[in-house]
Each structure stands twice: as C-alpha cells, then as structure tokens.
Amino acid sequence: MDWIQVFSSAAEARLRLAENKPQLLIVHGKRICLVLREGRFYAIQDTCTHSNESLSKGAINYLGEVICPGHGYCFSLKTGRESAERSRDLDIYPVKDDETGFYIGI
C-alpha cells in the first residue's frame, strides 16, 4: 500500500472539508469520496456500484451513510456496505495523519 499525502496536516483537512459534506479527490487516478463526520475522516470509492454516479455529489444521513444522488442507495462510510445489500460494496481507503501530513492509503 502506498500512503499518498493529500493535505499538509489534519488541521488543513478539517479547514477544507465541511462536516458531513462529501468531497471528491482524485488520487493516483482513483476517484475517492472523502468525508469528515463526527470528527473522523472516511475515504471511500466515489463511484456508486449500482449506477456509477459520483457519491461526492450525494449527502450523508444520520446513520453515517453516503446516499447516492442517482437512485438513493446508501453505503456505510465505515464498511462500504450497501445498506439493503442490493449492490456490491464500495472500496474503502485507510486514512492517517502525523506530523508530516494527512494521507490516504492506496
């Protein structure tokens, strides 16, 4: 796994991301949906496995799921699992931060 620096620090990431507002990042050619929720960062595959819609255009519900804007499928930010198991799970990516920056594992 390669750790790719996407921000200079977790503080910068918090400044750039609004709580519960998905944001698209393209990291080494991969479309990643990055979300700040309840003080934690989540990085998941941006493309819905049902309809190929961009999940970064969706919303976050009270259960901590991203809602696809196409057909309303809901995917867990923690596991990538689609709530009704109608579609393949999303890929999830680990995140970490230290004194050198904020990273996503690819």
Tell me the per-residue pLDDT of 41-80, one tens digit each, with 9 for 90 and over.
999 999 999 999 999 999 999 999 999 999 999 999 999 9
**Whole-model pTM?**
0.94
Residue 8: the pLDDT is: 97
Give the residue ranges of DSSP H helices in 1-106.
10-16
With contact defined as beta carbons under 8 Å apart, do 71 and 39 qualify? no
Q: Which domains does the chain have, with CATH numbers?
A: 3-105 (2.102.10.10)
